[in-house]
């Protein structure tokens, strides 16, 4: 088999890259080790930055998003005894977010790929990356895909990152995780981060009839110990009373626990191999940056590859890692800041807790601080 760009991973990063490259006349083949049904079954976040929405619209991928996505001005931070405040990116930045589940976006990307007859090989096993080829097994047979470039979009546990020698890795592990449920209930009117002595909680949205909620839990938490009733009771105990009373409860249709970590690998390129998305970086979900960073990586990489095939210039390819990492570290920083601001850390001293409380009070009292936070939360322009 022969193509111009071999893409490892059929998640949002891999399929979006293939779609944009196609629009620039660049051929690609996507390899995915899981089945399509498995990829579509993964439940992920769904808060899209304005720049992400722009990229999707520019590439003809936003028709369903524009119909079903829930537009909102920002995210509200609340805590007991205070009115809280809105991280108001519409007011301070003139932009708005859209709540649209990653599963829905994944469906849109597969549908777009099917319409153009894209080459997507699922259940590709034993993937090995070489300089100008990818070896893999499919249907019990050894296969090889020859290509000019390889895009590693295969996530944190994929093979691509391990193929970059002498990389520098930055990592921070947090001493807690998020227990989340998805329920067919109307969400709250606003996405809300809640700081509580009992631990962090989050009320998010997927659609007018689909809600996503999270509570901070210890790392050794077991899902089987958390019934739906226990989850709802704990969630409401963390939110201020007026917020808790507005939460509509119901049976969960999905329940999972995710540990939190910050991770960055540098550089994001080695020779003809380029990393994008979770293959290169992981952020805690507090800042809702993971999917948005994957989209910005793909934007920069697709632009660089398109320029190479258009003019032969390697200038954008040569600066891809530096360009992408500038935005990555901005997102890593704000995600880390919100995580440390809003969560209850097991070993926190009285001093730590008082300083955390004062930081919240300062944000509540200062329009300048809120504007700075909104600018960072909105994400850098592409």
Would residue 380 count as lying in a domain? no
Q: What percent of the chain has pLDDT over 70?
A: 99
The backbone region for 206, taken as left when phi is positive above 0, alpha when psi lies in -120 to 50, beta otherwise, is: alpha
Residue where the block lists tokens 């979009």: 153
Q: Which residues pair with 264 in a beta bridge?
A: 170, 281
Asked if the structure places residue 367 within a domain, the reply is no
| Residue at 363 is within a domain | no
User: Which residue's entry shows tokens 């779609």?
Assistant: 19
Give residue 43's pLDDT: 67
- 132: domain range? 5-49+101-171+262-340
| DSSP category for residue 34 | S
Does a structural domain hold residue 328?
yes
Q: Nearest Cα to 13, choosing from 275, 289, 259?
A: 275
Token pair, residue 121, equals 């090989």
Active-site residue set? 72, 193, 285, 289, 377
The residue count of the chain comes to 382
User: What is the tens place of the pLDDT at every residue in 130-164?
Assistant: 999 999 999 999 999 999 999 999 999 999 999 99
Give the global pTM.
Answer: 0.94
Using CB atoms within 10 A of its CB, is residue 355 exposed (0-12), middle (13-18) or buried (19+)? Answer: exposed
DSSP secondary structure letters along 281-306: EE--GGG--HHHHHHHHHHHHHHHHH
Closest CA to 297 of 318, 317, 277: 277
Q: Which residues contact 341 (CB under 8 A, 6 or more apart)?
A: 195, 356, 359, 360
Q: What is the CATH number of the domain that holds 31?
A: 3.50.50.60
Q: Where are the beta strands (DSSP E) in the chain?
A: 5-8, 28-31, 47-48, 70-72, 74-79, 85-88, 97-99, 119-121, 125-129, 133-138, 141-146, 149-152, 168-183, 192-195, 201-207, 210-217, 252-266, 269-270, 273-275, 281-282
39: in domain? yes
User: What is the signed CA dihedral for 140, 143, 149, 154, rounded to 10 degrees?
Assistant: 0
Share of the chain above pLDDT 90, in %: 91
- C-alpha span between 277 and 296 (Å, rounded): 9
| Tens of pLDDT, residues 24-52 | 999 999 999 999 999 998 767 778 999 99
Q: What are phi and psi of 188, to 5 degrees?
A: -65, 160
Let me know if residue 141 belongs to a domain. Answer: yes
Query: Alpha carbon of 311 to those of 17, 155, 314: distances in Å?
Result: 19, 31, 9
CA distance 157 to 12: 15
> For the chain, what is the domain count?
1
Contact indicator for 18, 118 with CB cutoff of 8 Å: yes
Asked if residue 243 is part of any domain, the answer here is no
Q: What is the pLDDT of residue 377?
A: 93
User: Angle at CA 200, nearest 5°, toward 197 and 203?
Assistant: 130
Q: Would you say 205 and 248 are in contact if contact means Cβ atoms under 8 Å apart?
A: no
Q: Helix (H, G, I), strand (E, B), or coil: what is residue 316?
A: helix
Q: Which residues of the chain have pLDDT under 50?
A: none
Which of 104, 100, 46, 106 has its CA nearest to residue 69?
A: 100
- CA gyration radius, the chain: 21
183 located within any domain? no
Q: Are 299 and 382 in contact (CB under 8 A)?
A: yes
Q: How are the residues of the chain apportioned to helix, strand and coil, as percentages rounded to the nearest 5?
A: 40, 30, 30
């Amino acid at each position: 088999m022969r193509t111009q760009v071999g893409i490892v991973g059929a998640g949002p990063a891999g399929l979006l890259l293939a779609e944009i490259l196609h629009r620039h006349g660049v051929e690609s083949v996507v390899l995915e080790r899981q089945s399509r049904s498995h990829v579509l079954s993964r439940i992920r976040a769904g808060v899209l930055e304005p720049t992400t929405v722009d990229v999707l619209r520019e590439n003809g991928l936003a028709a369903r998003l524009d119909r079903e996505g829930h537009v909102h001005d920002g995210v509200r931070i609340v805590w007991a005894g205070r009115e809280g405040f809105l991280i108001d990116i519409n007011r301070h930045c003139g932009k708005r977010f859209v709540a649209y589940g990653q599963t829905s976006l994944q469906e849109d990307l597969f549908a777009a790929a099917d319409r153009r007859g894209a080459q997507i090989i699922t259940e590709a096993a034993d993937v090995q990356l070489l300089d100008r080829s990818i070896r893999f097994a499919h249907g019990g047979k050894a296969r090889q895909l020859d290509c000019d470039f390889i895009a590693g979009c295969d996530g944190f546990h994929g093979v691509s990152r391990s193929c970059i020698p002498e990389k520098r890795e930055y990592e921070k592990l947090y001493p807690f995780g998020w227990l989340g449920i998805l329920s067919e209930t109307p969400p709250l009117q606003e996405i809300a981060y809640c700081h509580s002595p009992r631990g962090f909680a989050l009320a998010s949205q997927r659609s007018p009839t689909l809600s996503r909620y999270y509570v901070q839990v210890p790392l050794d938490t077991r899902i089987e110990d958390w019934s739906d009733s226990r989850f709802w009771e704990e969630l409401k105990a963390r939110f201020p009373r007026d917020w808790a009373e507005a939460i509509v409860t119901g049976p969960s249709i999905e329940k999972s626990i995710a540990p939190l970590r910050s991770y960055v690998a540098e550089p994001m390129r080695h020779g003809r191999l380029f990393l994008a998305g979770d293959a290169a970086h992981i952020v805690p979900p507090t800042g809702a940056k993971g999917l948005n960073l994957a989209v910005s990586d793909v934007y920069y990489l697709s632009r660089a590859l398109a320029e190479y095939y258009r003019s032969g210039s390697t200038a954008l390819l040569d600066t891809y890692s530096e360009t992408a990492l500038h935005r990555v570290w901005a997102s890593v920083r704000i995600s880390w800041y919100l995580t440390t601001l809003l969560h209850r850390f097991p070993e926190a001293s009285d001093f730590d807790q008082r300083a955390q409380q004062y930081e919240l009070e300062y944000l509540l009292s200062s329009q300048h601080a809120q504007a700075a936070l909104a600018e960072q939360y909105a994400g850098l322009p592409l």
